[in-house]
Structure 1
Amino acid sequence: MFSLNLKIALRNLWRNKVITAINIGGLAIALAAFIIVTMYFTFETGFDRANPNYNEIYIIGRNLPDFKTNYTSPPLGKTIKAEVPEVVSVGTMKVSFFEIPVTSKNAVVFLSKCLYLDYEAAKMFNIKPSNGLVKPESTTQNLFYLSNENYKTLFPNNKNGVPELVGLGSRSSGMTAKLSGSVYADPHSNIAFDAISVVKEVGLGEGYGYNNYNTYIQVKPGTDIEALEAKVNAIYKREMIKADEDPNHETFKATSAFLDPLKNQHLKPKAGTGIGYKILMALSVLGILILVIACINFTNLSIAQAAKRAKEVGVKKVMGAYRFQLSLQFLTEILIQCLVSTVLGLIIAEIILPRFNNLFGVNLSIWTANSALLWQLPLILIFITLIAGVYPAMVLSGFKPALVLKGNFQKSKQSFWLQNGLLVFQFSIAVIFITGLLIINSQLTYMRTQDVGFKPAQVVYIKNLAYFASPGKFDPIRDRISKIPGVKSVTVANTIPDGSDGGKNSYTVDGKEQSLTFTGVDFDYFETLDIKIKEGRTFSREFKTDTVNSAILNEAAVAKYGLTHPIGKSIKGCQNKTYKIVGIIKDFKTLGFEKPVEPTIYSINDPCGNPKTEIMLKIEGSRMSEVLNTLKSQWPEINRLDGDNFRYQFLDEMYGRLFKKQEQLQSVFFAAAMLTVFIAMLGLFAFAKYITNSKIKEIAVRKILGASNLQIFKLINRTFLVMVVMANIISFPLAYILTKKWLETFAYRIDLPLLPFAMSAGLTILLTIITVSLQANSAVKANPVGALKYE
């Protein structure tokens, strides 16, 4: 029986080549998209799952009045370990993003993410160096490991990862360090590094004012996390009071400690925006919808062809076939098509996967032995077979033999409404995707063309190892660089405007205390970045006090304090340092468009901030290459600490990375919109073919009675146009709500425009008319005699 059903299935598929090709092709394209989305979802949700302590690790964070942070001070973890029995282990670590050249006889590597951690943290995160994890014997011992990749680059002939001596900084600096070996850096972990330094105790001697460490705890299985969080918060509050914090102060009352599980850190940390999670969810929904649309095509076309199979079903039922057997036969046909679609989908996915990997910065592969796709793919195949096939199989196997053999076959009203409803659903999704794509394009165009308040173009950021605590230390370097023809200005700061979030401190003006971001700058900072002054002046060498106690605020800081005449006022900050406000600058979007401009204070002198290391140059565009070549040749003399390791980046490229996530979303929506429209049009084309063929005699009669070609085109298009208009009416509210919610994630955004809605409606209606008219054209031009000669 199975072999007979298989032969019948293959024969029917071959007879209806066009419909079969549309079914298989549409489903294959949708499956390719769904396979890639499934792989990406598995990858993104799999971070740190290889860690045996995955479910018991939590990071301690702090709720502050204006923001949340995962940074805490070193003593907190030790106190929690000593007082809380539910905590098994406490690990402390600190990441240095300071880029350090490490050299050997063979090569040089640049460590941009060096992780300093204690032995307990290394053990907690299952870090296993080549010669085993060793606990440092004293507080002065430092076990330094390079990642396997970097170690092989420096020592290609050392296969065992044994200790080696390396140089730090330039080759001429003479600084060396002893490697303890190599270590595997899991690319699928939140604890990312290119080198680690294991010590007995991190942050030794630092108190509760040094909140720039990450504290992780490992708890006992089954621990009540809410109760534990309350204990941790109580300890944090108590220790802060001991550190001379005022418990009655508003800032203290609004501050608390929280616990965040390790499994949240990659996609939706409490101290983050959750943009990665939102992108993943958007991708997942798009992948599912595209697959559903393809399954709808399948279902619609299978039902549409029911009339051709009615007599076959009637004869088989008369001969004794059961409905179950007929359902199995039709499901076999659908399974064959789904199987072929799956194979084609894998081929298409393999072709487009490199582009997807490049867009999202991942390295997914279909053919890896441990790929979750090995068990996911059979489930997907069964799922689409059932979704696309169960209802058509029930419809086809449910025909009554007495009626269909008499020629009185008629599809049920339920099937008619289902077909039309599914077509409306298809076009509704397509309209939402098109509208969403147009609005995303509008927002991205706004972001690219809007004035961000400074000009990163022609500004070069030079990577540097030296600290410049005062202008006097930087002046010799500034003078040497300024003499190079083509250099317009030179400055140094503790951060660059590339989306980096600076450190915050409390500052008081007129008795009102607020939290401000501090940016340590030097002369010519505002001129180099072309930041506009609104009131007062910028820092100048003509005023000696500018290097001691002068400060500049941005508009957001002035608004936060509610100042009307800020120039000349005093502002007190870290270590009770008092500054005089000499200028107000216009706000500029250092954090991009998703976050509002941070209230910020700028000063040359700061007793508590990070050291100034970020050198920036404004260069004439026509002489850019010439200046960079000169800098490279003179850098060993200009900055001896860096020596021959001259490295630079263009600031506009660094700032442009802030748009990457939204550009990813734009690319995904573009692909999704194109796929949904394409698949919907395939289904519409096939469905129009069926409808036209079923009305061939009606068309012939109308032509004999004098109907024009235009009238017949209107007749055939009318039904489809009604459905497309209904799809637009249904989709507009959904598209409005979804795009409005997306736009609300931006601090600076466009007003929701109406044009994309009108354009998506016009596009879908136009495509419908073209698709249906192309299919109806042959029927309209056919000789009526051919359709009526047997009547």
Structure 2
Amino acid sequence: MFRLNLKIALRNIQKNVGITSLNVGGLAIALAAFILVIMYFNYETSFDKSNPNYNNIYVVGRIYPDFKTNYTAPPFAKAIKHNFPEVEIAGITKLDPSWELVIKNGDKTVFAKNFLQADYNAAKILDLQPIGGLEKPTGDIERLAYLSTESMQILFPDKTDNSPEMVGFGPSTSGITGKINGSITSNRHSNINFDGVSIANELGKSENYGHNNYTTYIQVKPGTDIANLEQKITNLYRAELLKGETDQSTIDEIKVISTFLDPLANLHLKPRAGNDAPYKILIALSILGVLILVIACINFTNLSIAQATKRAKEVGVKKVLGAYRFQITVQFLTEIFMQCLLATILALILAELILPTFNNLFEINLSIWHADNSLIWQLPVILCLITIIAGIYPSLVLSGFKPAMVLKGNFSTNKQSYWLRNSLLVFQFSIAVIFIIGLFIIHSQLKYMRSQDLGFEATQVVYVKNIMIFNDPAKFKPVREKILKIPGVESATVSTTIPDGSESGLNGYTAGGKQANIDFVDVDFDYFETLGIKLKEGRFFSQKFKTDTANSAIINESAVAKYGMKNPVGQLIRGCNMDYKIVGVVKDFKTQGFENAVQPTIYGIKNPCGNLKVHIMLKIEESKMAGALAALKAQWPEINTKDGEDFRFEFLDELYGKLFKKQEQLQSVFFAAAMLTIFIAILGLFAFAKYITNGRTKEIAVRKILGASDIQIFKLINSSFLVMVTIANIISWPVAYILTKKWLETFAYRVDLSALPFLMSALITILLTVITVSIQAKKAVKANPVDGLKYE
């Protein structure tokens, strides 16, 4: 019996090779897209899962009335461990991604962009494992330093063991040397990435609760009540801050501060004190993948039902010979399983071909043929599911034919099947319309982001990487003078951050009796001129005014609004235990891109609580850019004597452009999804139109004999399909409006929703429908009526 069913299945596939190819091909394309999506989903949701204590590790953060942060002070970890027995271990780390450590061995150099500082407890929590095992610094050794295996290979290419090595730090003229105790492998599939690690017994020994620039990790006992622990840690933090405090306004401010515990599992996609855009994009991408697979299954169902009449006699004969409905259902499900299996094999081949492009788009390194790939067990489950989803209804329809009726020649499916086919087609086009609208709106937002005034000029600005500290303007002055002698260089400055989306510092400032936490950026002369930032009132910093290096400050428009100032120039603003005199107000400029609103910010040359001024920025004439950069590289050892061996630079507009990366990825994904959805929907429409047209051959012949023109017949055939496409647009517009509106709300600066994307989606789908159906109808319209009626 099995051999007979197999022969029938193969013969049926051979007889209907066109429809089968459409079925299998459409499903294979959708499956290939779904395989890539599920691989990406597995990758993004498995960060840090290799940590044995993955489910019990939390980051301790702070919540203020107007912001959240993961940064805490060094003493806090000790206090938590001492007061709460449910906390097994607590440790702190410090990582400054803007700081680049230069490490040398002779003529070989490594630039460690992410050099992680961790105490021994944090190293245990994060499962940092140097080659040879994790050791605790003992005796006079305060720290143990390790470099990544890649960096060690560069510095010591002939090294075969893991023994310690002496290296130089900074330029070779600095004379600073130190010991690298060995190498460590950085887990690239982790939120804690580094080029090197420094493990200490204790970090921040001399720092108090005012130095909030560390990350605190805790590992709790299994089964701990996290909500209860969170509240107890909040009470502890307030108690620590209130020690010795007598100022009532400060006490009131401390009482509204709270803490939170963020699971390690949240850090990559949806941190509580961070941007959850990656999580939203992952969910959107996953939904797209599922929808593409669903419409492919709908295609399969539609085409299988459309083919039902060709198998009616076969079913009738089998039932007369004694076959049960269950047996026939199993037979057809087996046939569909074979087609789905073939589609899966083709999908794997397609996915493998597309994977390099996909990896390049998302800057990852996925592989299908990987030993621990979850796809190994997920794919068989998916295969069974799509077989059931795509095949169960057609199998029930086919096995449900009544022998007496089909053997008399009544092959028509019932009205329920007719309505189901039409409903499924409407659903397919509804999804396609949503994708098309989404693509148009994403494109509009990206175009808006690229064309809008940022409030500063990133073009022609060169960011020079540097490790020297220029907090004192007198130290940077001779460097600036030498730089400005190079033809083409218009201005030069140094600051604590660059406007590339990097977070600036945050501190409490008081103005007009109102206290608020606002951003601060420490700058030097010519900062605003170099970036082309516009002045609203007052003046920029100038070397003509000696007080500018002592206590002058410039604030932005958002800071003026935050404090409710009128005529802010000349007023005082207090922070870091000193009074600043506001000498100017600059217009807001978008340092954080378009997703975050411009933050209230104060700019000062002197800041006792400030960060390190190491970021050099130069404004260079476009026509002289190449010559100026060549001259800078040649003269850098003389210009910046303590960091002159390694001239490294990046263009600021390219760095700022990286803020659009996620949205550009989303646009690419939506474009691919829209094309795939339209292709699969048109594929189904093409086959469905062929089936409908073939079924109306006699009707068309009669109408032509009665005088109907070709245009009238084309209109007749297209009308039912146009109704379905119109219904699909009407259904999808509200859904698309809600989804795109919610996406746009993630941007502080965005385009307004217009009717154009909705009208364009309707025009595109209607046009594609008319073309597709007309191609199929052409043969029937042009056929001789006699051929359609000669057997009547």
TM beyond 0.5? yes
For 1:78, the equivalent position in structure 2 comes to: 78
For 1:659, the equivalent position in structure 2 comes to: 660
1:406-445 aligned within 5 A: 406-445=408-447
Deviations 1:711-739 (A, max 9, x none): 11011001100000000000000000000
SS in 2 for 1:580: strand
For 2:41, the equivalent position in structure 1 comes to: 41
SS in 1 for 2:617: strand
SS in 1 for 2:656: helix
CA contact (8 A) 1:139 1:199 kept: no
CA contact (8 A) 1:138 1:200 kept: no
For 2:495, the equivalent position in structure 1 comes to: 493
Deviations 1:368-412 (A, max 9, x none): 111111111111111111110011101101111011111123211
d(CA) in 2 for partners of 1:494 and 1:225? Answer: 37
d(CA) in 2 for partners of 1:318 and 1:106? Answer: 89
Selected match of 2:345 from 330, 333, 343:
343
1:105 shift after superposition? 4.0
For 2:716, the equivalent position in structure 1 comes to: 715
d(CA) in 2 for partners of 1:646 and 1:106? Answer: 15
Selected match of 2:267 from 241, 265, 283:
265
For 2:8, the equivalent position in structure 1 comes to: 8
Deviations 1:76-127 (A, max 9, x none): 1101111101000011111132111212246322100010001111111221
Structure 2 gaps, min length 5: none
1:606-645 aligned within 5 A: 606-645=607-646
Structure 1's 248 and 701: CA in aligned 2 closer, same or farther, altered over 3 A? same
CA contact (8 A) 2:488 2:624 kept: yes
d(CA) in 2 for partners of 1:422 and 1:61? Answer: 49
For 2:779, the equivalent position in structure 1 comes to: 778
For 2:362, the equivalent position in structure 1 comes to: 360
For 2:335, the equivalent position in structure 1 comes to: 333
For 1:179, the equivalent position in structure 2 comes to: 180
1:157 shift after superposition? 2.1
For 1:284, the equivalent position in structure 2 comes to: 286
1:45 shift after superposition? 0.5
For 1:189, the equivalent position in structure 2 comes to: 190
CA contact (8 A) 1:436 1:735 kept: yes
For 1:571, the equivalent position in structure 2 comes to: 573
1:685-724 aligned within 5 A: 685-724=686-725
CA contact (8 A) 1:34 1:287 kept: yes
For 1:593, the equivalent position in structure 2 comes to: 594
CA contact (8 A) 2:238 2:255 kept: no
1:246 shift after superposition? 4.9
Structure 1's 502 and 745: CA in aligned 2 closer, same or farther, altered over 3 A? same
CA contact (8 A) 1:106 1:155 kept: no
d(CA) in 1 for partners of 2:409 and 2:385? Answer: 35
For 1:59, the equivalent position in structure 2 comes to: 59
1:323 aligns with 2:325: yes
SS in 2 for 1:96: coil
CA contact (8 A) 1:435 1:735 kept: yes
CA contact (8 A) 1:208 1:243 kept: no
Task: Report the AA paired with residue 70 of structure 1.
Answer: N
Task: Report the AA paired with residue 499 of structure 2.
Answer: P
Task: Report the AA paired with residue 670 of structure 1.
Answer: F
For 1:389, the equivalent position in structure 2 comes to: 391
1:643 shift after superposition? 2.5
For 2:673, the equivalent position in structure 1 comes to: 672
Task: Report the AA paired with residue 52 of structure 2.
Answer: P
Selected match of 2:515 from 513, 516, 519:
513
Structure 1's 324 and 247: CA in aligned 2 closer, same or farther, altered over 3 A? farther
d(CA) in 1 for partners of 2:235 and 2:197? Answer: 33
Task: Report the AA paired with residue 643 of structure 2.
Answer: D
1:94 aligns with 2:130: no
For 2:200, the equivalent position in structure 1 comes to: 199
1:624 shift after superposition? 0.7
d(CA) in 1 for partners of 2:391 and 2:244? Answer: 69
1:751 shift after superposition? 0.8
CA contact (8 A) 1:75 1:207 kept: yes
1:124-273 aligned within 5 A: 124-138=125-139, 141-242=142-243, 244=245, 246=247, 249=250, 250-273=252-275
d(CA) in 2 for partners of 1:162 and 1:341? Answer: 54
SS in 1 for 2:417: helix
d(CA) in 2 for partners of 1:201 and 1:525? Answer: 37
d(CA) in 1 for partners of 2:106 and 2:8? Answer: 72
d(CA) in 2 for partners of 1:242 and 1:139? Answer: 33
For 2:552, the equivalent position in structure 1 comes to: 550
Task: Report the AA paired with residue 375 of structure 1.
Answer: W
1:164 shift after superposition? 1.2
Deviations 1:162-195 (A, max 9, x none): 2111221223333222110001111111111110
Q: Percent identity over the alignment?
A: 64
d(CA) in 1 for partners of 2:268 and 2:689? Answer: 47
SS in 2 for 1:611: coil
d(CA) in 2 for partners of 1:39 and 1:491? Answer: 45
1:243 shift after superposition? 5.8
1:34 shift after superposition? 0.3
CA contact (8 A) 1:572 1:579 kept: yes
CA contact (8 A) 2:115 2:196 kept: yes
CA contact (8 A) 1:339 1:381 kept: yes
Task: Report the AA paired with residue 186 of structure 2.
Answer: A
Task: Report the AA paired with residue 731 of structure 1.
Answer: S
d(CA) in 2 for partners of 1:488 and 1:436? Answer: 43
d(CA) in 2 for partners of 1:641 and 1:388? Answer: 69
d(CA) in 1 for partners of 2:766 and 2:40? Answer: 34
SS in 2 for 1:325: helix
1:29 aligns with 2:3: no
d(CA) in 1 for partners of 2:63 and 2:411? Answer: 70
CA contact (8 A) 2:512 2:565 kept: no
d(CA) in 2 for partners of 1:147 and 1:778? Answer: 68
CA contact (8 A) 1:310 1:399 kept: yes
Question: Which one is further off, 239-248 or 194-203?
Answer: 239-248
CA contact (8 A) 1:130 1:160 kept: no
For 1:746, the equivalent position in structure 2 comes to: 747
Q: Count residues in correspondence.
A: 790
Structure 1's 283 and 482: CA in aligned 2 closer, same or farther, altered over 3 A? same
d(CA) in 2 for partners of 1:603 and 1:733? Answer: 50
d(CA) in 2 for partners of 1:231 and 1:322? Answer: 68
1:329 shift after superposition? 1.1
Selected match of 1:312 from 297, 314, 337:
314
SS in 1 for 2:603: strand
Task: Report the AA paired with residue 514 of structure 2.
Answer: K
Structure 1's 777 and 247: CA in aligned 2 closer, same or farther, altered over 3 A? farther
1:418 shift after superposition? 0.7
Deviations 1:574-626 (A, max 9, x none): 1x210111111100000010000000011111110102111000000011111
CA contact (8 A) 1:697 1:788 kept: yes
CA contact (8 A) 2:431 2:732 kept: yes
1:368-387 aligned within 5 A: 368-387=370-389
CA contact (8 A) 1:173 1:640 kept: no
Structure 1 gaps, min length 5: none
d(CA) in 2 for partners of 1:471 and 1:157? Answer: 44
Structure 1's 333 and 245: CA in aligned 2 closer, same or farther, altered over 3 A? farther
1:532 shift after superposition? 0.5
1:65 shift after superposition? 1.7
Selected match of 1:302 from 295, 301, 304:
304
1:355 shift after superposition? 1.2
1:2 shift after superposition? 1.6
CA RMSD after TM alignment: 1.1
Task: Report the AA paired with residue 542 of structure 1.
Answer: K
CA contact (8 A) 1:313 1:397 kept: yes
CA contact (8 A) 1:245 1:252 kept: no
